[in-house]
């Protein structure tokens, strides 16, 4: 019989792996990684994401907004990418 892993264990493993990859990826990844250990930075990101990102050297394209949500031991946010239509798959708008 295969080893049984709890859903919570799987999610923790996913985020651990995600943070490992993100930490190696430029300003944004390093900021996300730091926010897992720095409570003050985490609160600034939640309260004022655009400003905190800009301070870390992350430049957002004009017209783009960022909403940051926090996973906890009781709430896990799953973010779905935008729908891809036939035109979108070929680079259309």
Chain segment 47-84, per-residue pLDDT in tens:
999 999 999 888 888 998 889 999 888 888 888 888 98
Six-digit token string for 18: 């995600």
Alpha carbons 72 and 58: distance in angstroms, whole number: 25
Which residues make Cβ contacts (< 8 Å) with residue 51, sequence separation at least 6?
A: 44
Q: What's the whole-number average pLDDT of the chain?
A: 79
Q: How many helices (H) and strands (E) does the chain have?
A: 5, 0
> What share of the chain in percent tops pLDDT 70?
72
Q: Which of 21, 16, 25 is nearest to 58 (CA)?
A: 25
């Amino acid at each position: 019989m295969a080893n049984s892993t709890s859903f919570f264990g799987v999610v923790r493993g996913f985020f651990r792996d995600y943070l490992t990859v993100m930490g190696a990826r430029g300003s944004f990844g390093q900021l996300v990684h730091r926010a897992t250990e720095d409570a003050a930075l985490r609160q600034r990101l939640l309260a004022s994401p655009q400003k905190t990102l800009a301070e870390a050297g992350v430049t957002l394209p004009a017209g783009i907004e960022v909403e940051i949500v926090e996973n906890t031991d009781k709430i896990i946010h799953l973010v779905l990418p935008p729908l891809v239509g036939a035109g979108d798959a070929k680079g259309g708008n």
